[in-house]
Structure 1
C-alpha cells in the first residue's frame, strides 16, 4: 500500500500560500488527503482547492514564528479534524544579512521560523499522534542543499546555519521516536534552487536568476514528498537531496 494509506487522513502544511508549500498542498489533495494549509496569506491558501481532486482543503491563518499562533492552529485541528497524521514543515525564510554587519532582528526572524517554529510544530504534531495512538504518522521537513554544504555566499550564512540545524533535528527526532518505540517516521527533502518567491528576500539576486541558472519547479519537491510518504511502513527515507540538473552548486 502506498499513498492510499493516507487517503482521508489529515496533513498539515506550513507556509502553504505559495511556492513549494502550495505545490505540496495540491499534490496531497490529488491523493485524497484532508489538507490544512497554514500561512499568513490565508486567501492564497483558499485558492488552492482543486475541484477535481478528492481531497478537502482547510485554510488557517497563522504565523510559524509565533508559538501562540501554532498552538491555536493545532487546537483548531484537534477540535475540528481530530488531529494531525502528517506534518510538512515547509515554512522557511532567508535574507541577505551577513554575519559581520547583519541586524539581530533579521537573524532572529530566520531562526524563529526555520528552527524554533519548525520544532514547535513538530513537538505538537508528535504529541498529538502519540496521544491518539497514531503509529504510521510522518513528519517531513523541507530543508535545502544548504544543509549539506558550506555556505555558498556570506549573505546566506545564517540561513545555511538554520538548515544545518534542521538536518540535526531530523536525526534527533528519529532517535527520539525509536527510543519511544514509535513507528512514526521522519525525514527531510533537501532541494537545490527552486523557482519560487524565495529569491526576493535577497536583493542582490538578479531578477532573471531562475531564467539563467538551472532550477527546480515546486512540483519537483512535492513529488519527492509523495515518494517519501508512499514507501512501505518498514522503510524510512531519511533525506532526499534534489539537485537541478546542471547545477554547479
Structure 2
C-alpha cells in the first residue's frame, strides 16, 4: 500500500488492533505497521494463529501478536497495563470486535480521568468488548497525555449502533478539559473475507456473486481517518462497493 500523506505524525507510535486474527484485522495491522507504527495485534486466537494471518501480508516485522480475549475484563486490563509499561500507552485503537447499544463508555469519574477502570462500573460496558476497549484506551491516553484516536469498525447494516457509540464517547470526552482524543466509526458493507463473528451475517460467501469490498479497502479507510489533521475528526465513515446491493 502506498504511504498515505498525513500519517507521519503517527510514526513510532503504538497502535492496538483487535480482531487481528481475521483477514480484515490482519490487513489493518499490516497497513498501520507499513506506515511506521508499532502495532500490537490482539485476538482471542493463539498468537501462532495471529502470526499466521499476518505472515500472509507485508510489513509484519513491526507487529506484535498477543492473545487476548477482549471480552474478558481481566485479560484486557492485564494487556493494557502491559501496553502502558512496555509501550508508554496507546496512541491508536482500531476495534473490530462488534458493537451493542451504547452506555457510559469511559466509566471513570471525570475529575479523576487517570484512574484505573473499575470492574464494577456499568453493565453494558462490562460485557461488550468494544466499550471495554474504548474505556481502557481512553484511560491510557489520558494517563499518558496522548492525543490519540479510537476507531470502531462495524457493519454498515448496524451503523446506527456504531455511530451511537462514537457520539456517546465524543460527548463524554467533551466533558474532559484539554483532551484531543478523536473517535471515528467506520461502517463497511460486505467484505470478501471473514469479519468478526458479530458481523458474520454480512460476509459474502463464494456462491454470492455480489461485488464486495476487499480487506485493503477497510485498511485504507482506517488510514484516511488517521491521516486527518490534529484539529479535524471524521466522526462517521460508511464504505461499500460501488455496485453493492442495498437491502
Please, what TM-score do these two structures have when normalized by structure 2?
Answer: 0.78
Greater helix proportion: 1
In structure 2, do the counterparts of structure 1 residues 240 and 89 end up closer, same or farther at CA, with 3 Å as the change threshold?
same
Q: Displacement of 1:199 after TM fit?
A: 9.2
In 2, distance between residues paired with 1:27 and 1:112?
31
Q: Are the equivalent residues in 1 in contact too, given 2:31–2:59 (CA < 8 A)?
A: no
The CA distance in 2 between the partners of 1:229 and 1:92, in whole Å, is 20
What residue is the counterpart of 1:227 in the other structure?
224
Preserved CA contact (<8 Å) 2:18 2:97: yes
Deviation at 1:50, TM superposition (A): 8.8
**Per-residue deviation, residues 148-195 of structure 1 (Å, max 9, x unmatched):** 4xxxxxxxxxxxxxxx33321100111111221321100011100001
Question: Contact between 1:49 and 1:56, CA under 8 Å: does it hold in 2?
Answer: no
Counterpart pick for 1:77 among 74, 83, 86: 83
The 3 A distance-change label for structure 1 pair 54 and 195 is closer
Contact 1:31 1:55 in 2 (8 A): no
Within-5 A mapping of 1:120-139? 120-135=132-147, 137-139=148-150
Match for residue 142 of structure 1 among 150, 153, 164:
153
Shift of 1:206: 7.8
More displaced stretch, 214-223 vs 41-50:
41-50
Compute the displacement of 1:236 (Å). 0.4
Kindly indicate whether residue 50 of structure 2 is the aligned counterpart of residue 45 of structure 1: yes
- 1:88 & 1:51 partners in 2: Cα distance? 18
Distance 2:63 2:196 in 1: 28
Q: Which runs of 5+ in 2 are unaligned?
A: 100-122
Equivalents in 2 of 1:31, 1:198: separation in Å?
23
TM (normalized to structure 1)?
A: 0.77
Partner of 1:66: 72
Q: How does 1:138-177 map to 2 (within 5 A)?
A: 138-148=149-159, 164-177=160-173
* Count of residues in correspondence between the two structures: 215
Taking a change above 3 Å as real, the CA distance of residues 8 and 206 of structure 1, as seen in their structure-2 partners, is closer
Give the drift of 1:29: 0.7
Structure 1 unpaired stretches of 5+ = 94-110, 149-163
Helix, strand or coil for the counterpart of 2:17?
Answer: strand
Give the equivalent residue in structure 1 for 2:93. 87
Q: C-alpha separation between the residues in 2 aligned to 1:126 and 1:199?
A: 23
Structure 1 residues 198, 209: CA separation in 2 closer, same or farther (over 3 Å shift)? Answer: farther
Query: How do residues 100-249 of structure 1 correspond to structure 2 at under 5 angstroms?
Result: 116-135=128-147, 137-148=148-159, 164-181=160-177, 182-198=179-195, 207-210=205-208, 212-249=209-246
- Any conservation in 2 of the 1:20–1:196 contact (CA below 8 Å)? yes
Does structure 2 retain, via aligned residues, the 8 Å contact 1:140–1:187?
yes
Paired residue for 2:115? none
Check whether the contact 1:138–1:185 (CA below 8 A) recurs between aligned residues.
yes
RMSD between aligned residues: 2.9
